[in-house]
Structure 1
Amino acid sequence: MPKVSPSVRGAVRLFSYWLANGTAGLPLLDGVDYSAIFEEPSALEQTYAIFMNVLEFDDAGIVLNAKQAERRAAQFIRSYVEPDYVVEPPFEDWEVELY
């Protein structure tokens, strides 16, 4: 049975680590207190959905765009904690889809 590649596992693990210790999405989230996403399960769920929907990898399972996936997730986080923040470019439906 196929498994998620070590590269994908590493990207998710690292994103989770940065998210948990308050250093995800730098420099976009530098100085932004985003701890509120940990109090609202749907906000955290949406953060991970965006990260995973944007994440791309090649046929060998090597992640190609971890920083881009992190940035899009960070844009969601910032828009969640700062309602006046405008996400550019706006999220496309496939980026925010929950599976």
Structure 2
Amino acid sequence: MVKCYAANSELVEQVAFFAFILGNGSLLPQNSINHDIEYDYEECIMEDPRVLVEVFCVYVNNYVNSADPSIAEQRAAQWLAHQCLPEYTIDPPIEPWELLESQGKGDVFDAIKAFGRAIAFGDLPGEYIEGIDYSEYLSVGGSFLEEVIKVFLNNLLVNEDGIVINYREALKRATQYIRYYIDKSYAVNPPIAGWEVGEYDRPDTLQ
């Protein structure tokens, strides 16, 4: 079976940057109706996991629709602001397609949305994360979420039809990295390689 990386390096970096600004508290909307606003959305995300799920969905769906990460980031920022500040006006309003979750297509974008749900609700492989509460890391500094999603995407593979073939394995590696990030005494097996967190290019040869 032919297999290749699901996400090219550009997509990995763009999604990782989105995760970084989401995690460090700077995913803020900028538009003429509400003017530039600043607020702390950490509590909003911590109180309702669906907020994080939907922010990922709005970002991914707009990324696919526009092929412009800046548009995707701003739509996600607007939706996040509206969830935390109901008086915030989104212009134009969010449409139903922007909130669509994983549709079972099996492509890389469905996998990213599924990842957003998994990390928001803690639907991760329990044997690697038992007893570890990572929720506070989701919105305190951007590096945690940025690096976790890099590990996930850099391990994600697709077949010749563009269908993801190892979602659970990629999710496992991301979960192992979460554990290691929080508990440095945890021995990841096999160890996390530099290419998984984007320190250098991924190997050309797939196992």
Q: TM bucket by the smaller chain? A: 0.7 to 0.9
Match of 1:9 in 2: 109
Q: CA deviation at 1:14?
A: 1.1
Give the counterpart letter for 1:71 in structure 2: K
Matched, 1:22 2:125: no
Structure 1 residue runs of 5 or longer lacking an equivalent are: none
| Distance in structure 1 (CA, Å) of the matches to 2:147 and 2:155 | 12
For normalisation by structure 2, the TM-score amounts to 0.42
Residues in 2 aligned to 1:57 and 1:36: alpha-carbon distance in whole angstroms: 32
Q: Does 1:73 align with 2:174?
A: yes
Q: Which has the larger radius of gyration?
A: 2
Measured against aligned partners, the alpha-carbon deviations of 1:39-70 in whole angstroms (never above 9, x if no partner) come to: 12111100000000000001211101111100
Identify the range of structure 1 (89-98 vs 61-70) with the bigger mean alpha-carbon deviation: 89-98
Indicate the residue corresponding to 2:150 in structure 1: 49
Q: Compute the RMSD of aligned alpha carbons.
A: 1.8
Cα distance in structure 2, aligned partners of 1:31 and 1:23? 14
Q: Deviations over 1:66-92 (max 9, x none)?
A: 111001100110011112111111112
Q: Contact conserved, 1:36 with 1:81, CA < 8 A, in 2?
A: no
Residue identity (%): 35
SS, match of residue 57 in structure 1: strand
Unaligned 5+ segments in structure 2 are 1-63, 65-104, 202-207
Of 32, 37, 60, the residue aligned with 2:137 is 37
- After TM superposition, the score normalised by the length of structure 1 is 0.84
What is the letter of the counterpart of residue 65 of structure 1?
Answer: N
Q: Which ranges of 4 or more aligned residues in structure 1 deviate by more than 6 Å?
A: none
Is residue 193 of structure 2 the alignment partner of residue 85 of structure 1? no
Mapped partners of 2:177, 2:136: distance in 1: 13
Once the two structures are TM-superposed, the CA of residue 18 in structure 1 deviates from its matched residue by 1.1
